[in-house]
Amino acid sequence: MSSVSPIQIPSRLPLLLTHEGVLLPGSTMRTSVDSARNLQLVRNRLLKGTSLQSTILGVIPNTPDPASDAQDLPPLHRIGTAALAVQVVGSNWPKPHYTLLITGLCRFQIVQVLKEKPYPIAEVEQLDRLEEFPSTCKMREELGELSEQFYKYAVQLVEMLDMSVPAVAKLRRLLDSLPREALPDILTSIIRTSNKEKLQVIAIRPIRRITHISGTLEDEDEDEDNDDIVMLEKKIQTSSMPEQAHKVCVKEIKRLKKMPQSMPEYALTRNYLELMVELPWNKSTTDRLDIRAARILLDNDHYAMEKLKKRVLEYLAVRQLKNNLKGPILCFVGPPGVGKTSVGRSVAKTLGREFHRIALGGVCDQSDIRGHRRTYVGSMPGRIINGLKTVGVNNPVFLLDEVDKLGKSLQGDPAAALLEVLDPEQNHNFTDHYLNVAFDLSQVLFIATANTTATIPAALLDRMEIIQVPGYTQEEKIEIAHRHLIPKQLEQHGLTPQQIQIPQVTTLDIITRYTREAGVRSLDRKLGAICRAVAVKVAEGQHKEAKLDRSDVTEREGCREHILEDEKPESISDTTDLALPPEMPILIDFHALKDILGPPMYEMEVSQRLSQPGVAIGLAWTPLGGEIMFVEASRMDGEGQLTLTGQLGDVMKESAHLAISWLRSNAKKYQLTNAFGSFDLLDNTDIHLHFPAGAVTKDGPSAGVTIVTCLASLFSGRLVRSDVAMTGEITLRGLVLPVGGIKDKVLAAHRAGLKQVIIPRRNEKDLEGIPGNVRQDLSFVTASCLDEVLNAAFDGGFTVKTRPGLLNSKL
């Protein structure tokens, strides 16, 4: 056995107090110097000293005490390590400090502190001398056996590492060349030990030191199964990932073993492997394929929406017949507040699948879909792969919310990235940039939601099955309110049906006078406002009941015995002045609505608006649902100019020019003249067309028939029927062409209390989707030319000769 190196240290050493770690003999450590004492030591001892003795320091582990005075020397550990300062690096940013590279030489024991300022200097006694080691043959043999056993443990531990790494190979050679008694300190600084354990190693004697660290090395062999990398490797071996993914993971785990933990790529590779083993490559849930139970569940959760529920049941039926059916790509298109997102959640509940919502509104980076490549700092998988990790199964229901509001930027087009995700022929082999291996998405049921298809790229739209979710009728809103919204609001506000009653007639008033929407979100908010107002009344009533109870108790305690007869009425009136609590349940009628919600926001103003010529009612479609739209026209002396206002788009402006051109060419036929009696309607006459709600942008061809009717009313001096609304595109020859959004437009006319709707004849097929109660309340006129439109829009018709083909029937 080799002997201890004959290191001799000075009997007086300056003390460097460190709080970043414990330095052991034979090991090297970098430590930061920023305290006042340590800065003085470096400047006065290391930077000014010229001899080797001046570079030897006494390193004492120090745990700073926040409660102690910084001016006082803290309590010192009795044993420290003499060290050689190998390197000194200084900097003034952000404040003056030095970084020392120090190498441990031997142990020492503090005899006494000679001075404390400007830096501590102590008289020390060197340990680890030859005389400390056993002198008898028996003890030397025991130490030799322990040293050899320790050497074997150390070799076994090092050989567990990858020997192809140069640093590991160098460490293995050092084990053979270093003295055996120096190995415990060196191995302790290498293996994972706490500062507390290192302090114990510094303080104990050589034989106990070897025994103590040998036990630590034994534990390090036993903890092999608990090692994170080993556990990660076992998870890779036992995972059910495809062969290609498995090969990638095996390659990456080999690279990970060779990397030092300090390398930035170490954390990136480890995060990647942890994601790979957490992904549900073959883990799935079993679908509940009970058609009857699914129908009941959908009906209970959602009123109406028959077309949508029918499509879900069709999917369940086909899935029951064929287990490996690829998930369809559904897209629910409709105005806000009609329940598109909640239907997606109900579909997952019906199937017994996990549900995950991905909000796409405002997303403008394709990496949100496909992920970042791992070469980038802060890279991470896309939302699809991250969602699969969250739900833990490979067949969830994914709701891609607001797919029509995707953006585009310099970072790419996320709508284009979705093409692979939403293509049943491709998504079985979806490759996320972060994973860089294929993942099968074919069992995922994708449901997208949108307010309009106009902003969805054609290629993406082609991959989805569009299911229109129109707005609700008044009757449907009443049912939804009493089945779902009112019970929900009562529960949220701590009320019971015994405390508040909202009759259906009141609900109808809220729908018609306080909301104007296709969905039910505003209705839900109004019901919440009513519940809050009632909650105040209920809380005040409970307080008043308590006051009345206390006054009764006071009277029963004998207060009346001291009241004179002529004073009794006054005291009784004082008691009765306490306001009685409201009677339960509180009934919400129209007067209560006015007190709580204020004056009605929407009044039926149709008849007043059409009280003079030059006004007609059109029907418009918006992403928020259908709306009625007034068109107003006026004429004045001028130079034959046409003025259009109301934030109109180019298509609507062209419709206005088409309308005036058609009327000018047919002025003699309809006996239309300007103020000067000329059939040239623009002769010395200017026309102004205005579309109210000027802050709202308007565009589209469907206002053509409305503009023609409005101008015909203006030049004929006749009033348009106040109960008629119309929609349709026109041509220069007077034909009426079909338009879209018929159902939403008809529902808007029904909400406005109109009685007749004029639509293009080729849109007659769209009337089949109108609810039966709406068709009973409205009369429909289908027109193929403008003659038929004008005949239906004016009382008694508009032309001298009535052309055949006018269909006026109640459907």
Residue reference for tokens 């104990």: 204
Q: Which of 355, 301, 311 is nearest to 331 (CA)?
A: 311
In angstroms and rounded to an integer, the radius of gyration of the C-alpha atoms of the chain is: 43
Compute φ and ψ for 37, nearest 5 degrees.
-65, -45
* Contact predicate 366/382, CB 8 Å: no
* Side-chain half-sphere exposure of 618, counting CA atoms within 13 A: 29
SS3 501: strand
Cα 607 to Cα 719: distance, rounded to the nearest angstrom? 11
Q: Which of 27, 713, 745, 779 is catalytic?
A: 745
Taking CA atoms, 520 is separated from 17, 403, 602, in Å, by 70, 21, 16
Structure tokens belonging to residue 100: 């020392």
Q: Which of 630, 750, 606 is nearest to 698 (CA)?
A: 630
Beta bridge partners of 23: none
| Residue burial 746-785, b: 16+ Cβ < 10 Å; e: rest | bbbbbbbebebbbbbbebeebbeebbeebbebbbbbbbbb
DSSP state of 44: I
Residue reference for tokens 């050493």: 13
Taking CA atoms, 477 is separated from 25, 310, 461, 508, 676, in Å, by 82, 20, 30, 9, 52
CA 351, 354, 357 angle in degrees (round to 5)? 115
Taking CA atoms, 265 is separated from 23, 251, 272, 367, 681, in Å, by 28, 14, 10, 21, 79
Long-range contacts of 186-189 (CB under 8 A, 24+ apart): 186/24, 186/26, 186/27, 187/150, 187/154, 187/157, 187/213, 187/217, 188/24, 188/213, 188/216, 189/24, 189/26, 189/27, 189/29
Compute φ and ψ for 178, nearest 5 degrees.
-80, 150
* Contact predicate 415/406, CB 8 Å: yes
H or E element in which residue 56 lies: strand 56-61
Structure tokens belonging to residue 385: 């792969």
Cα 736 to Cα 705: distance, rounded to the nearest angstrom? 8
Q: Which of 147, 189, 702, 713 is catalytic?
A: 702
Assess whether 239 carries a catalytic annotation.
no
* Contact predicate 527/534, CB 8 Å: no
Cα 762 to Cα 779: distance, rounded to the nearest angstrom? 17
Assess whether 170 carries a catalytic annotation.
no
* Contact predicate 778/727, CB 8 Å: no
Give CA 510 to chain center in angstroms. Answer: 32
> Among all residues, which ones are annotated catalytic?
702, 745
